[in-house]
Amino acid sequence: MTRLQDLYAQQQQSPWLDNLRRGWITSGELEQWVARGVRGITSNPSIFQKAIEGNAEYDDQLRGLVADGVSVTDTYWDLVTADIRDALRILRPVYDASRGEDGYVSVEVAPSLARDTAGTTEAARHIHTTIAQPNLYVKIPGTAEGIPAIRQMISESRSINVTLLFSVERYGEVIEAYLSGLEAAEGDLSGTSSVASFFISRVDTEVDRRLTTIATPEALALQGKAAIANAKLAYQLFGERFSGPRWEALAARGARVQRPLWASTSTKNPAFPDTLYVDELIGPDTVNTIPDATLEAFDEHGTVARTIDAGVDGARQDLRRLAEVGVDLDEVTHVLEEEGVAAFSKAFDELIGSLQTKTESFGA
């Protein structure tokens, strides 16, 4: 067995692939990833920007769309939908074999809607209706404006990947949206699924930048600790909220837990181990969506062992020490949410601009 297969078999953690491009679909490489143990796929506007820009794999479909007079924005969604449909087909056996636990492919609503509750709700409903596959996750940002849209989609029995989560407090709001959405839904709940995507490495990048500026020995000793500590406390909250009478009543109707999904798990700091954010976040009822380079590294030399709930007291202490040296984690997570929304919007806008240029060249 591969280490990716061991993650699930031994620790009940599902490794997903945080990347998608057409060449993997057409070459059979995506199917090979699934055979090695990948159990789901996530995408976002930045991923599609890298996949589509300057890549001839999309040109044939693009030429047909130009000939049909399709708008640039609709062209983007047609290109993306084609890849998502093919990925859904490849992952469907995983979905069926796991009885709906895994095998999902995620596609995000337009990033411009991150602060628009009504627009997000309409867009998520439209994507679910258009693609209409049981193993589709529509990604909704976990912004304050996204929370009501998440609850509404869950109440309509639509499966959702909540993305761009950085703070444990906001994660608690997301859990509440999921639970109350399930309570508002009718009938059997087993067909509704959700994950909550908690971003990891970006927390260390921002916190460590601030610690470097503070530059005291106490501050520098905390570098590389914030992200993992933050995730460990999020997992503790997960365990608390998906237990007890309220959850048991929903579970009796077939409800599934909303699994924490660790995102942004490639190591940005070359001083850290390349599998740090996989090795340290392993535990049951979780997902880790991992870029392909980090997947390769983990499959080669990662460590398969339960770590997510080890050292929780130490994690709390690390976060207290961060506050003591002058790092406000609430401010950090607010900044990261704003930057995340802006980065996805920028990637989307740049891709639309590139598509406009390419369509004009095809039409010449």
pLDDT at 31: 98
Q: Is 268 a catalytic residue?
A: no
Nearest in space to 200 (alpha carbons), one of 176, 158, 173, 167? 167
Buried b / exposed e over 138-174, threshold 16 CB at 10 Å, is bbbbbbebbbebbbbbbbbbbbbbbbbbbbbebbebb
Q: Does domain 3-201+256-305+331-363 have CATH number 3.20.20.70?
A: yes
User: What confidence score (pLDDT) does residue 45 get?
Assistant: 85
**Residue 364: per-residue pLDDT:** 46
What are the sequence ranges of the domains in the chain?
Answer: 3-201+256-305+331-363
- 345 neighbors 112 (Cβ within 8 angstroms): yes
Give the chain's residues under pLDDT 50: 364
For residue 45, the Cα-to-chain-centroid distance in whole angstroms is 12
pLDDT one-digit tens code per residue, 293-347: 999 999 999 999 999 999 999 999 999 999 999 999 999 999 999 999 999 999 8
Of 139, 225, 232, 358, the active-site residue reads 139
Q: Specify whether the CB–CB gap between 66 and 362 falls below 8 A.
A: yes
* Residue 48: per-residue pLDDT: 87
